[in-house]
Structure 1
Amino acid sequence: MGITIKGKSDGVFEIEIELSSTYAEIKNAIQKKLSRNKDFFSGTGARIIFTGKVLNEAQKKGLRRMLEMDYGVIHVIFSDETAENYENRDVKIKRAAEPEEEKSDGRISLLSKSYFNAKSIIVPHTVRSGQRIECEGDVVVLGDVNDGAEVIAGGSVIVMGILRGLVHAGAMGRSDVAVAANTLRPKQLRISGKIAIFPEGEESDVPQVAEFKQGTVVIRSLRPQQKKL
């Protein structure tokens, strides 16, 4: 069997890993069980805790990436991790504007499977509502990221237009990443697994970059350097 899934209170699910299971068996068992209820986890704020067999860091990252990209689950913890490693994953910041409304049927489709294993990619157009970009490296979008679109990157994300959709930089655990845009107005921003919620506020008229530093999301302006005459 490999795993046993138990539902708990407040949207918490325990996945118990059998001690004799290999990593491949664990992944296959999770995919088989969760694929039957894929829509149940997506967007519900579900939290998953793994118990039983202890996995190494690479295996943990692989499971976290699979659960986020395939099932929309971003709250994942392993029983051998300390509480300090997991608490305060939701980080609020104090700058943003209400994103523009865009009609969407709520469905997200992967734009191109060839992007995923790339070290870095350039998307030469706007990422529209319902489209999703996945890449192990950095992503540069020569256009906007609309509300209802998603960009998931193992590295940094640069948007040459308006960022209104969901962006996750450092999705595989890297913390030396950033999200930059000409206009930073995301529906939701994630950096290294931390969630930044953008409250209503004034828009900036200069490009900005968001980085995760010392437990919080820091946003700074990228003001062009003035030439001296």
Structure 2
Amino acid sequence: MDNSVIIKGGKKGITVVLDKDCAFLELKKKLEEKFEASAKFFNDANLALTFEGRNLSSREENELIEVINKVSDLNILCVINNNQTRVMEDKIDEIVESQIASRLNSIDKPCHFYKGTLRSGQVFETEGSAVILGDVNPGGKVIAGDNVVILGSLKGYITAGCNDNSNAFVYALEMKPMQIQIGDIIARSQDSEPSPKRRFRKDEATIEPKIAYVYDNNIYIEDFSQDVLADINL
């Protein structure tokens, strides 16, 4: 049995284990064969993709993703590599449209986009909703009059609902903020008060899409789902 490429499914998506000694061109061919054979199984699922087994350059990673896109209908929402999340730029519009944009577009105030990483000391501010196409590093800040969507890792400071909007929400592919403020409610990483729902926790270790919102004067963070979003008033 050829184990040059092994596809493993999991709760958070699929993991592709690559032979570190196989020539790259041969590896691409094996990858194409495996995903072509599995196309009907995955259908058009929205999945995160993880590469393991060998170090890939950005060019090699993109070439493998192009192969997967060519032979399958998978929607690759993000690539998780070396504990980092990289949102695929050619999928960003699709992600926003399918999960968030219809909600944001129903709001009268504008939605502003920022592409790139917000590093320590950098601030992105808007009167409407903010969509960050990248990460918010520790010390980076986003200040928005309404909602905040992070298509990447959130590890900095977020202020949403500055326009006295306690119905605002914060969404991120990886939710590990130093502080979140929604309206006049604040949750910090050291907060540890008990709660009937899962509260904002410093030790959140998994990389999963999550959404933060205000309920009963507290900020809660839940795994993202359409049901959770449907329950939030905008």
Larger proportion of helix: 2
The two structures have a TM-score, normalised by structure 1, of 0.42
The two structures have a TM-score, normalised by structure 2, of 0.42
